């Protein structure tokens, strides 16, 4: 599961790192947040005819065929079923795939009977690039030229050793050499092979303040190591 992230690197820097242009309307500086949950905006990089573009997407995928513009716990898609589950398969096969850059993500350790949050980042300090999908939904009660709702999901897989038993899922972490294949590759075995746990040593984590459990709380203190 991946249902809470930190996103504070400015969009213009994320775009440079991912060799993408900023979409029209995206603030280059952005508004940092250390506690982003579903139904908030994430950044996603897609592949277009003009190259990679970084845009905003509401977190929680609404498929194009939905009768309502609401997400039903679709902020994550399981790697094992993403190619076949009706909610996600069109986006997967139509190459509506995203690079989703985040600064880190949170998982909660339940093993001692309490919920203890941990913050995960890349060991090398770079932003984490997650595998995602997007879709565009149109309100059919409105004119056809009405702007479509952009939504996304983050794909999860089985955990690597870096998760240390804290959770039974983790988001799919992509390496730079896999970005092009994920964005534009055919939906074949090679593509699906990217949806695997990150190699040992990719991520590190530490316990953080339990206030992160309330999405109303925000600020850099939420990712500091708990004392």
| pTM, full prediction | 0.96
Per-residue CA distances from 81 to 65, 111, 160, 197 (Å): 19, 27, 19, 15
**Contact present, 11 and 24 (Cβ < 8 Å):** no
Edge-to-edge strand list for the sheet holding 116-122: 33-36, 5-7, 104-109, 116-122, 203-207
State the pLDDT confidence band at 66, using cuts at 50, 70 and 90: very high
pLDDT of residue 23: 97
- Percent of the chain exceeding pLDDT 70 equals 100
**Contact present, 102 and 130 (Cβ < 8 Å):** yes
Please state the domain extents for the chain.
5-223
CATH (residue range 5-223):
3.90.1680.10
> How many other C-beta atoms are found inside a 10 Å radius of the C-beta of residue 227?
5
Distance CA 140, CA 28 (A): 32
pLDDT of residue 47: 98
Q: Pick the closest to residue 58 from 154, 155, 150 (CA basis).
A: 150
Cβ contacts of 88 within 8 Å, gap of 6 or more: 61, 63, 74, 77, 81, 82, 133, 153
pLDDT of residue 48: 96
State the pLDDT confidence band at 227, using cuts at 50, 70 and 90: confident
**Which residue's structure tokens are 């600020």?**
219
Q: In this predicted model, what pLDDT tens digit does every residue of 162-171 receive, in sequence order?
A: 999 999 999 9
Q: Pick the closest to residue 152 from 121, 173, 171, 131 (CA basis).
A: 131
Beta bridge partners of 122: 203
């Amino acid at each position: 599961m991946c249902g809470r992230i930190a996103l504070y690197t400015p969009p213009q820097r994320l775009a440079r790192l991912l060799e993408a242009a900023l979409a029209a309307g995206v603030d280059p500086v952005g508004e940092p947040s250390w506690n982003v949950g579903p139904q908030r905006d994430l950044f996603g990089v897609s592949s277009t005819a003009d190259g990679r573009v970084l845009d905003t997407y509401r977190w929680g995928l609404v498929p194009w065929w939905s009768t309502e513009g609401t997400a039903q716990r679709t902020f994550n898609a399981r790697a094992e079923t993403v190619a076949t589950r009706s909610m996600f398969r069109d986006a997967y096969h139509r190459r509506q795939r995203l690079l989703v850059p985040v600064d880190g993500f949170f998982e909660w350790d339940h093993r001692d009977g309490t919920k203890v949050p941990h913050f995960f980042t890349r060991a090398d300090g770079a932003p984490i690039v997650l595998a995602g999908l997007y879709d565009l939904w149109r309100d059919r009660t409105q004119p056809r030229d009405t702007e479509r709702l952009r939504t996304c999901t983050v794909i999860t897989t089985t955990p690597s050793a870096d998760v240390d038993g804290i959770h039974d899922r983790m988001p799919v972490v992509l390496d730079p050499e896999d970005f092009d294949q994920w964005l534009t590759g055919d939906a074949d075995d090679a593509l699906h092979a990217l949806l695997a746990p990150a190699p040992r040593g990719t991520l590190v984590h530490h316990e953080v303040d339990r206030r992160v459990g309330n999405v109303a709380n925000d600020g850099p203190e939420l990712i500091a190591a708990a004392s």
